[in-house]
Amino acid sequence: MTILDRGKKRIGLEQALKHSILTGELSPGTRLPTLEQLNLEFNASKATFQHVINRLKKQGFIRSVERQGMFVADHLPCETHFGLVFDRKTNAFLKKIEEQADFLNQEGRWQFSVFRNEYSPALLERNWNTLRERLQERTLAGLFFFFNPVDEEILQLIREFSEVPMLMYDYYPDHETLLVLKMEPESCAEKSLSLFLERGITRLAVICKPDQPLTTSFRNAARKKGIEIPDRWCLPAPEYSSEGARNIVMLLLSLPPEQRPRGLYLTDDNLLNAVQAGIVESGVRVPQDLTVVCHTNFPDPPETVIPVLKVGFDNRELLRRSIEAVREFRRTGRVRHNVIQGKYETEIESVNHFRVQRERKERGFQ
């Protein structure tokens, strides 16, 4: 710490204290010098010190204890606070990620903030300005991108703050310097196909979103096991029409029993409600006449109208593994490309976990 130039004391004092914290000179839990002691070093007014202390408290670097003084925070934001960067489209997957982040925020060890790539130019500018400010303040331990970052504003942030660990969930071109935790569709396809084969079901149909990699993975896995899924039974559902997905299922199940599929695979849990409605209206019995397997992201609501088997990624594991990847990078400086495997619902006990979370919400913890 050095004596500050007149007129720059607030900025300089904040930078000096933060530097001492970031370098470990003032370690977590350490009591800060009193205002009188700081004044001997910096020769600033009490108002200046109070302004700086309030800013560092707001940023999460220090905490106050009544009648004891100011202490360096036990969990520094530069090590425990992460930014989740979402694309413009909101879907069930991102909503579940945000919900899990909220629960981790309540537990207190890790903190997450969401930054959205908004359609509105005004909201977008405000989001990126906030994100830039947080990066400049050193209050984010890393950024997790849930889409391919190609907008110039985002690319500029990546270039400008290259020292901040940043992670994606697939391999995207021109981002070799970023960490990757790839959600592996092949693992979900294999596990889903196993559920059908264990039940002796080889006559399968697929209801999917257009151009989903999971659809290709599932068909390739089936082909390797000698099961061909006819093109006429691989049916893309209209992306914004639940009625369309319902009608597709009803048409498919209107075939005579010996000509219709005995297994139905959904590549996206956003389709589940519409597909269930179509199955119920068709009168086909589940699981006696039809086995349904749905790709989902856990934790997932346990209630379904019909029996549905679920395979997918555990969002709690996804966030935990993301944090581990960032912390490893901070330790080693090496860029890692890891994968996360799909799981059966029974492997992650999502039903009980979801029930606990719902009860916490009802008690007002959210």
Amino acid, single-letter form, for residue 343: K
Is pLDDT of 366 > 60? no
Nearest to 337 by CA among 185, 142, 179: 179
Rounded to 5 degrees, what are φ and ψ at 166? -130, 140
Q: Is the dihedral of CA 319, 323, 324, 329 positive or negative?
A: positive
Q: In what order do the strands lie in the sheet with 81-86?
A: 111-116, 81-86, 142-145, 166-168, 179-183, 337-340
pTM value is: 0.85
Is pLDDT of 356 > 80? no
Work out the average pLDDT over 239-258: 88
Work out the average pLDDT over 331-352: 83
The mean-pLDDT minimum among 225-234, 237-246, 348-357 falls in 348-357
The pLDDT, as a whole number, for residue 5 is 53
Domains for the chain: give ranges and CATH numbers: 9-72 (1.10.10.10), 77-184+317-362 (3.40.50.2300), 185-312 (3.40.50.2300)
> What does the pLDDT look like over 81-110, one tens digit per residue?
999 999 888 788 899 999 999 999 998 889
> What does the pLDDT look like over 20-73, one tens digit per residue?
999 989 999 999 887 777 777 777 777 888 888 899 999 999 998 888 888 999
> What does the pLDDT look like over 107-157, one tens digit per residue?
888 999 999 988 788 887 888 899 999 999 999 999 999 999 988 888 999
Average pLDDT, the chain: 87
